[in-house]
Amino acid sequence: MKIFWGILVFSIGAVWQTCGGGLWRTSMAGPSSKFVSTSSLSKIGRSPAQKALNQSQYAQARIQKISMENFGLIQIQPKPKRLFIHMRYADSTNFLHQPVYPNSCGCFVHPYALKLLDKALDILEKEYPDLGLLIWDCARPLSVQKQLWEKAEIPRTEKWKYLSHPERGSVHNFGLALDLTLADTSGRPLDMGTDFDHFGPEAQPVMEDILWKNGVLSEHVLNNRRLLRRIMRRAGFFPIPHEWWHFNAMSRRTASEKFSLIP
């Protein structure tokens, strides 16, 4: 039993470090059946080690969900042929080549961002039925923002273009920004010229015209990016100058005046 609680508490700590949330103190005060339902326990493996591991994984996912919900955030669910989710910081397909969220990490957003996202999906459904959205990042706790800032090997003079300083915070830290791209109805991303988290001028909307003239970005790529921006703008989102995949539902200033930062 001691081993189980050891693993469980360690896992809770890991969630605090990665997906964040306000549950740490509550869990330390009494990590109990509040987080692990009896029905879930009946489904777990039979060996004691497997049982403990499965219990801790279940608790991790549950706590992450509850803690994000404590901040009023809502988990986005994928929609067949229209909305796809691949949390790039939950596996190694990001610039750090390692996960910074637990692999169970879902996509959580502020209700206002969700409202705008629904508008974008409506536009796609009515006007671009062959297209969907593929989301790569959603609400991001400040603890993760710090990790990204510290670990990103980008010259300081360039870093601010791609990452907000944790002291200032990112709109992601309020659940009011989304990183996403256009996809076909099977979830395959359209060609945008670079991947997510490409830290170079090719990723920057402000550089697009020059890079097109120099033959670095094709007309096809530019059209895809413009279409994404058009749809997101119509839905109420704002693009930013240095990352084609990032969209804010409101400014960082407004977000910080109205809402709490996810720690």
Residue 179, interface with Zn ion (CB under 5 A)?
yes
Nearest approach, Cβ of 36 to Zn ion (angstroms)? 33
Alpha-carbon distance of 93 to 104, in angstroms, equals 15
DSSP classification of residue 93: -
Nearest approach, Cβ of 137 to Zn ion (angstroms)? 6
How many residues are given for the chain?
263
Residue among 71 and 237 whose Cβ is closer to Zn ion:
237
Nearest approach, Cβ of 47 to Zn ion (angstroms)? 41
Amino acid found at 117: L
Judged by phi (left if over 0) then psi (alpha if -120 to 50, else beta), residue 143 lies in: alpha
Nearest approach, Cβ of 125 to Zn ion (angstroms)? 24
Alpha-carbon distance of 207 to 197, in angstroms, equals 16
Nearest approach, Cβ of 140 to Zn ion (angstroms)? 8
Which span (14-22, 47-55, 219-227, 242-250) binds Zn ion, by CB under 5 A?
A: 242-250
Nearest approach, Cβ of 179 to Zn ion (angstroms)? 4
Residue among 137 and 208 whose Cβ is closer to Zn ion:
137
Judged by phi (left if over 0) then psi (alpha if -120 to 50, else beta), residue 169 lies in: left
- Return the residues of window 207-226 that contact Zn ion according to CB under 5 A: none
Alpha-carbon distance of 194 to 203, in angstroms, equals 6
Nearest approach, Cβ of 181 to Zn ion (angstroms)? 12
Residue among 212 and 259 whose Cβ is closer to Zn ion:
259
Residue among 130 and 150 whose Cβ is closer to Zn ion:
150
Residue among 83 and 177 whose Cβ is closer to Zn ion:
177
Alpha-carbon distance of 20 to 179, in angstroms, equals 19
Which span (29-37, 65-73, 182-190, 243-251) binds Zn ion, by CB under 5 A?
A: 243-251
Residue 62, interface with Zn ion (CB under 5 A)?
no
Q: Which long-range contacts (CB under 8 A, 24 or more apart) does 251-259 make?
A: 251/171, 252/164, 252/168, 252/169, 252/170, 252/171, 252/174, 255/171, 255/174, 255/176, 256/169, 256/174, 259/72, 259/110, 259/174, 259/176
Alpha-carbon distance of 140 to 248, in angstroms, equals 13
Residue 246, interface with Zn ion (CB under 5 A)?
yes
Cα–Cα nearest to 244, from 191, 187, 167: 191
Which span (94-102, 151-159, 174-182, 250-258) binds Zn ion, by CB under 5 A?
A: 174-182
The residue count for binding Zn ion (CB under 5 A) is 2
Alpha-carbon distance of 247 to 236, in angstroms, equals 10
Q: Per-residue x/- marks for Zn ion, 19-58, CB under 5 A?
A: ----------------------------------------
Residue 88, interface with Zn ion (CB under 5 A)?
no
Residue 197, interface with Zn ion (CB under 5 A)?
no
Q: Which parts of this chain interact with Zn ion (CB under 5 A)?
A: 179, 246
